[in-house]
Amino acid sequence: MTELIGFTEADRLCIPVPFYHCFGMVMGNLGCVTHGATMVIPAPGFDPAITLQTIQDERCTGVYGVPTMFIAMQNHPDFASYDLSSLRTGIMAGAVCPVEVMKRCVNDMHMTEVSIAYGMTETSPVSCQTRSDDDLERRTATIGRAAPHVEIKIVDPVTGETVERGETGEFCTRGYSVMLGYWQEEEKTAEAIDAEGWMHTGDLAVMREDGYCNIVGRIKDMVIRGGENIYPREIEEFLYGHPDIEDVQVIGVPDEKYGEELCAWVKLRAGAQPLDADAVQEFATGKLAHYKIPRYVMVVDEFPMTVTGKVRKVQMREESAKALGLA
């Protein structure tokens, strides 16, 4: 992974991601070891201000992080005061990466060679990655193409047949990087890795004609409203364009008529005007299909997160249903 972003012994990598996770320990520390690069550890836990200060003081050339980390840094009230001109690259991974956040990495954080990586711990961990010489559209709007010596395919989740390029299906990967199996969990291993060695990720993706891929959501996160399949990623990307929204997550909640309705959890920017469902619906009307416009909007200070920085949508659904009085 570090080879694909041109790392050398001259690089200094800021590593604010956890070391008990593949991102920090494998991609971060081992990546530096293999290239003789300097590891810069800003703090025992992630803090946006400390991370920004460390990049400035240690003249880091790269920084790794999950999307929520980059969002926190970019929206820190003193962000503009830090000198980040030493940065040239980095990797954003661990969750779906918003296009606007990636563009700010390039334009505001000087990370002109920033890369998106996609994978999972079970695949050691990366299956797709953008390249530093990709054009801006590929580096900000896709998860890249297959990593060296790795195979990928997109299949129908029900039939297992490979779908045409441009169609949505489950992302599968095969190669040296796929784990041998879950420790003493033969049944769970068989559910994840089929007889031909393909790892079934549970992520929904689209492969473009040029071989670059997009993650559109997770199978378990897909919302089915009145027979329509809705991928929250599309709505989240759209709502990032709202001037008052700093971050957003979209989930499905129970509905007697349609089966499920959309609920958007939004974090507002500092000093933003109050926002409610009517304002969000007005912003989306005429730009999103009517069934993709969230019926409910919950303004929150933070999202429930896993220890590795991923949003816990299962918990969000439970909390939303309870707060909204839904069965």
Q: Taking the alpha carbons of 312, 317, 318, 320 in that order, is the dihedral positive or negative?
A: positive
pLDDT at 327 exceeding the cut of 80: no
CA 164 to CA 62: how far, in whole Å?
37
pLDDT tens for 281-310 read 999 999 999 999 999 999 999 999 988 778
Q: CA distances (Å), 124 to each of 26, 52, 76, 121, 202, in order?
A: 8, 28, 32, 5, 16
pLDDT tens for 11-68 read 999 999 999 989 999 999 999 999 999 999 999 999 999 999 999 999 999 999 999 9
Q: 117, 91 in Cβ contact below 8 A?
A: yes
Domains 150-217 and 222-324 alike in fold: no
What mean pLDDT value characterizes the chain?
A: 95
What number is the average pLDDT over the span 174-197?
97
Question: What class does CATH assign to 222-324?
Answer: alpha beta
- For the chain, which residues make up each domain, given as ranges? 3-146, 150-217, 222-324
Give the pTM: 0.88
Taking each helix axis from N to C end, the angle separating 48-57 and 67-74, rounded to the nearest 10 degrees, works out to 80
For residue 109, the model assigns a pLDDT of: 98
Instruction: Based on DSSP, count helices (H) and strands (E) in the chain, helices before strands.
Output: 10, 16
Beta strands in 82-192 (DSSP E): 89-92, 115-119, 126-129, 145-146, 150-155, 168-175
Question: What class does CATH assign to 150-217?
Answer: mainly beta
DSSP-assigned letter for residue 156: -
What number is the average pLDDT over the span 163-191?
97
DSSP-assigned letter for residue 44: S
Question: What token pair was written down for 129?
Answer: 């990655």
pLDDT at 4 exceeding the cut of 90: yes
Is 3-146 a domain of CATH 3.40.50.980? Answer: yes
Phi, psi (rounded to 5 degrees) for 11? -85, 150
pLDDT at 195 exceeding the cut of 80: yes
For residue 319, the model assigns a pLDDT of: 97
For residue 95, the model assigns a pLDDT of: 85
